[in-house]
């Protein structure tokens, strides 16, 4: 099939939209908490409502086979866009919860659709390349949400924005942008034609008997909770960085945004380094090393001085970088068949991003944010255990360093 660069661009832009909509939660947590005077438990419900939508990743995959790509993306953009618009029109804590859930449903459904679409539009032989490009875009946009959130708020305060946003809640302007972006993409989807995606037998969602067999296998639960633990840590740290630095080190929101920016940017750059390192060493050893270094960095971030904490939080992002891809690959490579169904189950583990911030927020009310964030050590410890326990059927291919320098 001839490569369809328009569709490739659309998919990459969709990854950017997903990242912008998803990762806006972190920089806006502090202003949302201040505006609505929320307790830690109440603040934790916001990411919970968003990420709990990923619990339905398997039904989404089944629906995709019936609805096909265009209809699924049109529904996803429209539903999420209306959710953002609902909150933008009437910002309140009561509406934030259903709004965040609606946005989360749309993002989760899009995640199910766009990967096979990218494979077809870009060609199977180029799928790995375009996947990496998409991941870099996702991480880069996540980093820039930390800065754009404040820029938009300042724009609304100036009275020059064309959004009917309350100047007393200037951060709501970000949800006007999200609503506009998603609804515009829904309109584009209505008019364009997408290539037909033929799923391989191994990529299909599978029937009830497949899931019954997989759910009875201990391995699937081990890797499900590995993904759960990774996303739980990624969000459990990222969402609380600004709050922590402001509360314990009296830093400004702008300083918190800077740290959050580099947290995501180093996570993205770490993915590039990880692509090289995974060719030079066993992926389980690489995972083990990065988990240990992430735990060390988090220790310095939580219990170090202001200067140490400032940079240590950034390094946590860097060392988290390889955990998603390696954990996912170890999970898929531990099974000989049904990889489509397995991928759906593993993607459901994204709900860790819902549960972890909720637990941390609830514990914050009891023991304070510093010690509640220690919950992340339990999640990282689990991933460390998986790095020893995993016995994949296929190991990553490693290039011998000595052979690289051998004369031909």
39 within a domain of the structure (yes/no)? yes
Q: Flag whether pLDDT at 205 surpasses 80.
A: no
Same domain, yes or no: 179 and 230: no
Structure tokens given for 157: 């305060």
Same domain, yes or no: 160 and 225: no
116 within a domain of the structure (yes/no)? yes
Same domain, yes or no: 126 and 238: no
Q: Flag whether pLDDT at 383 surpasses 90.
A: yes
Look at the chain and report how many structural domains it folds into.
2
**Reported confidence tier of residue 202, pLDDT bands at 50, 70, 90:** low
Q: Specify the CATH number for the domain of residue 71.
A: 1.20.1250.20
Same domain, yes or no: 223 and 357: yes
Same domain, yes or no: 81 and 221: no
Same domain, yes or no: 133 and 169: yes
Same domain, yes or no: 303 and 385: yes
Same domain, yes or no: 2 and 134: yes
For residue 381, the model assigns a pLDDT of 98
397 within a domain of the structure (yes/no)? no
pTM, rounded to two decimals: 0.86
Report which of residues 280 and 348 the model is more confident about: 348
When pLDDT is averaged across residues 5-12 and rounded to a whole number, the result is 87
Report which of residues 20 and 160 the model is more confident about: 20
When pLDDT is averaged across residues 321-350 and rounded to a whole number, the result is 85
108 within a domain of the structure (yes/no)? yes
Q: Torsion over CA of 260, 86, 173 and 163, rounded to 10 degrees? A: 160
Report which of residues 402 and 150 the model is more confident about: 150
Q: Encode pLDDT of 241-286 as tens digits.
A: 999 999 999 999 889 999 999 999 999 888 888 778 877 888 899 9
Choosing from 178, 199, 220, the residue where a domain stops is 199
For residue 398, the model assigns a pLDDT of 64
CB of 364 within 8 A of CB of 313?
A: no
Residue range(s) defining the domain that contains residue 291: 205-390
Same domain, yes or no: 11 and 65: yes
Q: Encode pLDDT of 69-86 as tens digits.
A: 889 899 999 999 999 999
Same domain, yes or no: 86 and 107: yes
Same domain, yes or no: 235 and 119: no
Same domain, yes or no: 13 and 102: yes
Among 117, 53, 75, 65, which Cα is nearest to 348's?
53
CB of 90 within 8 A of CB of 165?
A: no
For residue 408, the model assigns a pLDDT of 46
403 within a domain of the structure (yes/no)? no
Choosing from 182, 199, 216, the residue where a domain stops is 199
For residue 132, the model assigns a pLDDT of 74
Contacting residues for 222 by C-beta, under 8 A, at least 6 apart: 386, 389, 390
For residue 124, the model assigns a pLDDT of 66
Residues in the chain: 408
Q: Flag whether pLDDT at 197 surpasses 80.
A: no
401 within a domain of the structure (yes/no)? no
Among 347, 345, 348, 353, which Cα is nearest to 320's?
353
Choosing from 175, 199, 223, the residue where a domain stops is 199
Q: Among 8-22, 118-132, 137-151, 178-192, which stretch is predicted with the lowest mean pLDDT? A: 118-132
396 within a domain of the structure (yes/no)? no
407 within a domain of the structure (yes/no)? no
């Amino acid at each position: 099939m001839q490569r369809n660069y328009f569709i490739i661009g659309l998919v990459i832009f969709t990854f950017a939209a997903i990242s912008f909509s998803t990762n806006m939660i972190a920089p806006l947590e502090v202003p949302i908490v201040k505006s609505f005077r929320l307790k830690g438990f109440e603040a934790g419900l916001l990411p919970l409502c968003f990420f709990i939508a990923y619990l339905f990743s398997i039904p989404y995959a089944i629906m995709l086979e019936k609805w096909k790509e265009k209809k699924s993306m049109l529904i996803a953009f429209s539903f999420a866009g209306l959710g953002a618009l609902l909150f933008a029109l009437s910002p309140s804590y009561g509406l934030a919860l259903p709004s965040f859930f609606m946005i989360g449903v749309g993002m989760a459904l899009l995640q199910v659709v766009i990967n096979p679409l990218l494979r077809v539009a870009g060609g199977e032989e180029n799928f790995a390349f375009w996947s990496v490009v998409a991941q870099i875009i996702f991480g880069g946009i996540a980093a820039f949400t930390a800065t754009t959130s404040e820029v938009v708020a300042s724009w609304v305060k100036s009275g020059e924005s064309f959004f009917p946003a309350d100047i007393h809640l200037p951060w709501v302007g970000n949800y006007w942008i999200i609503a506009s972006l998603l609804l515009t993409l829904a309109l584009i989807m209505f008019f364009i034609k997408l290539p037909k995606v033929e799923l391989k037998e191994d990529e299909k969602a599978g029937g009830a008997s497949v899931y019954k067999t997989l759910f009875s296998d201990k391995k699937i639960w081990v890797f499900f909770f590995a993904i759960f633990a990774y996303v739980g840590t990624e969000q459990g740290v990222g969402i609380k960085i600004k709050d922590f630095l402001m509360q314990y080190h009296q830093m400004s929101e702008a300083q918190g945004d800077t740290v959050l920016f580099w947290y995501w940017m180093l996570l993205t750059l770490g993915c590039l380094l990880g692509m090289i390192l995974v060719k030079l060493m066993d992926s389980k050893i690489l995972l083990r090393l990065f988990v240990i270094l992430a735990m060390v960095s988090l220790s310095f971030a939580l219990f170090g001085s202001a200067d140490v904490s400032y940079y240590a939080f950034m390094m946590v992002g860097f060392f988290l970088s390889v955990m998603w891809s390696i954990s996912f690959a170890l999970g898929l490579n531990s099974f000989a068949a049904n990889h489509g169904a397995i991928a759906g189950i593993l993607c459901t583990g994204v709900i860790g991003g819902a549960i972890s911030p909720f637990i941390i927020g609830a514990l914050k009310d009891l023991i304070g944010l510093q010690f509640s964030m220690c919950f992340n050590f339990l999640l990282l410890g689990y991933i460390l255990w998986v790095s020893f326990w995993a016995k994949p059927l296929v190991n990553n291919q490693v290039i011998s360093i000595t052979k690289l320098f051998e004369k031909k």
